[in-house]
Amino acid sequence: MKILVTGGCGYIGSHTVVDLLNENYDVVIIDNLSNSKKDVIEKIKKITGKNVTFYEFDMCSKEKLREVFEKENISSVIHFAGLKAVGESVEKPLMYYENNLISTLNLLELMKEYNVKKIVFSSSATVYGNPKSLPIKEDFPLSTTNPYGTTKLMIERILKDLYQANNSFDITILRYFNPIGAHFSGLLGEDPNGIPNNLMPYIMKVAVGKLPILSVFGNDYNTIDGTGVRDYVHVCDLSYGHVLALKNPKPGLKIYNLGTGRGTSVLELINTFEKVNGVTINKKIVGRREGDIDACYASIDKAKEELGFEPRYNIEDMCKDSYNFVKKSN
């Protein structure tokens, strides 16, 4: 029996595949390499000593996807594949709706046809919009402000309706807060194509001189130092959360926040990165970025209680591992 990991060459996907292999699962990856590189497969083998079965194609092709279900004995699916740049989604909404929704509908239809009932879905804290209070709990109101976030919300809705119609499905929705950090080997990490949208990948590029200066988007938020506060979670804590979700005996449709429960400001993150790595990050304060919220951090009580999820790494670890990765990959 094999675990199908869609988007398994990506940042969170590749770290999750390492954890799955270390737990002696057999893994099949489907990835179209639109935001990842094929050499990740070799790096996963270097870390674990194990092989995976890899298919390179776009999941919008239902016939190619069918071949995988036909050929491989899939027991469960972890679904990461999807476009994920907020800014790009505002410029190209149709591309985001088509890609993220069609690929997911193809996957769910084939899961149903081949009687594969267990799925763990990669969702995002972005579905909470601008929360009225903190920490954010799973039953908070949902709203989105960009097409990327709306595709995540729509897929959650599709999964809820699927479960309503057929409660033999075992569905886990994981809402990630802000994943950063890298595998301690320095072989896997966040390496987006082009100019990074997110804070840590941008800091990493400035740290190694690939970008000249970091813009801090606003210092007039209602936070400890005026800069945005987020719940940064180590990607290796996040990836292990998927193994826990896979092993969770509780049936039905389940939703969990995956974060640390702690908020860190932009300036706090930059200062920590500089301190633990002995570098200086050239930065300037500029205006707010459209759509940003003041603060966002998770209640992870439900994941702790039902999954046994316990974040092991702190902000210092995340900064150290991020720098270790970017030094090795540049």
The number of residues in the chain equals: 330
* Angular region, 226: left φ>0, alpha ψ -120 to 50, beta rest: left
Per-residue binding letters, 258-277, with ligand WQD (x by CB under 6 A):
--------x-----------
Say which amino acid occupies 140.
Answer: F
Of 16-24, 38-46, 163-171, 197-205: span binding ligand WQD (CB under 6 A): 197-205
Q: Taking CB under 6 A as the rule, which mask of x and - marks residues 3-42 in contact with ligand WQD?
A: ----------------------------------------
Question: Of the residues 148, 202, 256, 297, which is catalytic?
Answer: 148
Q: What single letter denotes the amino acid at residue 267? A: L
What is the identity of the amino acid at 328?
K
Smallest separation, CB 191 to ligand WQD (Å): 15
Residue 292 in contact with ligand WQD, rule: CB under 6 A: yes
CB-based contacts of 272, cutoff 8 Å, min separation 6: 264, 315, 316, 319
**Closest-CB residue for ligand WQD?**
228
Out of 2, 43, 84, 320, the only residue in the binding site for ligand WQD (CB under 6 A) is: 84
**Residue 139 CB-half CA count within 13 A:** 2
Q: Are strands 26-30 and 53-55 parallel, antiparallel or unpaired?
A: parallel
- DSSP-derived letter for residue 82 is S
Establish whether 148 is a catalytic residue. Answer: yes
Task: Candidates 14, 124, 239, 272: give the one binding ligand WQD (CB under 6 A).
Answer: 124
CA angle 95, 98, 104 (to 5 degrees): 130
Q: Taking contact as CB under 6 A, which single stretch among the options 7-15, 101-109, 130-138, 195-203 is the one that binds ligand WQD?
A: 195-203
CB 80 within 8 A of CB 5: yes
Residue 178 binding ligand WQD, by CB under 6 A: yes
Handedness of CA 313, 319, 322, 324 (dihedral sign): negative
Binding region for ligand WQD (CB under 6 A): 84, 86, 124, 126, 176, 178, 197-199, 202, 214-217, 228, 230, 266, 289, 292
Where in the sequence numbering do the catalytic residues fall?
Answer: 148
